[in-house]
Amino acid sequence: MSEILVLVEHVDGDVKKVTLELLTLARTLGTPAAVWAGPGYSDAAKARLAEYGAEKIYVAAADEIGDYVAAPKAEVLAHLVAQRSPAAVFVAATGEGKEIAGRLAIKTDSGVISDAVGVGEGFVAEQSIFGGGVNVRSRVTKGTPIITVRPNSTAPVAAAAAGAEEKVEVALSDAARAARIVERVVQEKGARPELTEAAIVVSGGRGVGSGENFAIIEKLADALGAAVGASRAATDAGWYPHQFQVGQTGKTVSPQLYIAAGISGAIQHRAGMQTSKTIVVINKDAEAPLFEIADFGVVGDLFQVVPQLTEEIDKRK
């Protein structure tokens, strides 16, 4: 079976969950080969990638790759595409991933499909658009299919593979050195999972009413081991930090379970959460548009419903 390159997302040497998802997806269509670009590679990273099905691991570990924004990683991938002629390249649909994919498409004269929520036979990618109202299936018809896949689209499943390592040396072009990273600010991690990677997200909107009231949302999130999200109305009001905004101009999430409390369901909010597997909506207005895409809906006051839900979940632990 032909090789599918999977670009590894990693932070401080840790392989991000989305990479395990992409390896799992790649296994259904070919032979996954992980591509590590940048410093921080370790035996632990190797073991993790092999555990999730990487038959091969291409390692371009030069420190310099981590010194610049996106472009060096695109050059590493372009080098491998030229050398290995893979069947496809999978990249996480994150901010950096999408930039890398776009650059790679230009370098390899290939088509790119962004924000896929699934990829099937023949590398037909599925995208969910217009607030989840329309599903589009498309296929790259030129060059090597480059597909960015949303985190949480595939459940990661371990399947041990060889993880055969191969060092890759790429001489970076001057263009790749155009934007140097001058500072990295590590955002406070806290005990909760990262929003875009969380299996469960509990979000609050304008209906929450104040920053202090977000404690209700946080309590439910903690009872479920979930991440906290917010609508733009809530972040613009200063009730919750902008980094937790879900939607068109915020983060895109696709968890197994998304609970929205006091959020009306504007198209811009849906754009960031409509591919969630199960959607639960709590809203006192039965006509709130978010109910249209809800799997379960509770028409009620969130100040009553959310604490009761939290209590019930805590009881069952």
CA separation for the pair 124, 14 (Å, rounded): 30
Secondary structure class of 307 (helix, strand, coil): helix
Find out whether 172 and 73 touch, Cβ atoms under 8 Å. no
Q: Which residues pair with 54 in a beta bridge?
A: none
Q: Which is nearer to ligand FAD, 74 or 221 (CB)?
A: 221
CA separation for the pair 102, 147 (Å, rounded): 10
User: Interface with ligand FAD includes 303 (CB under 6 A)?
Assistant: yes
Q: How far is the CB of 118 from ligand FAD (least distance, A)?
A: 23
Q: How far is the CB of 282 from ligand FAD (least distance, A)?
A: 6
CA separation for the pair 32, 24 (Å, rounded): 8
User: Interface with ligand FAD includes 233 (CB under 6 A)?
Assistant: yes
Q: Which is nearer to ligand FAD, 276 or 283 (CB)?
A: 283
Close Cβ partners of 284 (under 8 Å, ≥ 6 residues apart): 207, 299, 300, 301, 302
List the one residue from 42, 138, 213, 268 that touches ligand FAD (CB under 6 A).
268
Q: Which is nearer to ligand FAD, 163 or 247 (CB)?
A: 247
List the one residue from 42, 138, 213, 248 that touches ligand FAD (CB under 6 A).
248
User: Interface with ligand FAD includes 266 (CB under 6 A)?
Assistant: yes
Q: How far is the CB of 216 from ligand FAD (least distance, A)?
A: 10
Candidates 86, 114, 87; CA nearest to 101 is: 114
User: Interface with ligand FAD includes 192 (CB under 6 A)?
Assistant: no
List the one residue from 15, 20, 234, 279 that touches ligand FAD (CB under 6 A).
234
User: Interface with ligand FAD includes 283 (CB under 6 A)?
Assistant: yes
Q: Tell me the two tokens of residue 124.
A: 């037909």
User: Interface with ligand FAD includes 46 (CB under 6 A)?
Assistant: no
List the one residue from 118, 131, 156, 247 that touches ligand FAD (CB under 6 A).
247
CA separation for the pair 62, 45 (Å, rounded): 16
16 secondary structure, DSSP code: P
Candidates 185, 174, 181; CA nearest to 63 is: 181
Stretch of 15-23, 29-37, 82-90, 301-309 lying at the interface with ligand FAD (CB under 6 A): 301-309
Stretch of 2-10, 89-97, 179-187, 204-212 lying at the interface with ligand FAD (CB under 6 A): 204-212
Q: How far is the CB of 304 from ligand FAD (least distance, A)?
A: 8
User: Interface with ligand FAD includes 301 (CB under 6 A)?
Assistant: yes
CA separation for the pair 222, 231 (Å, rounded): 19
Candidates 81, 87, 73; CA nearest to 109 is: 81
293 secondary structure, DSSP code: G
Close Cβ partners of 171 (under 8 Å, ≥ 6 residues apart): none
Q: How far is the CB of 100 from ligand FAD (least distance, A)?
A: 23
Q: Tell me the two tokens of residue 280.
A: 């639960």
Q: Which is nearer to ligand FAD, 133 or 225 (CB)?
A: 133
Where do contacts with ligand FAD occur on this chain (CB under 6 A)? Answer: 205-207, 231-234, 245-250, 262-264, 266, 268-269, 272, 282-285, 288, 301-303
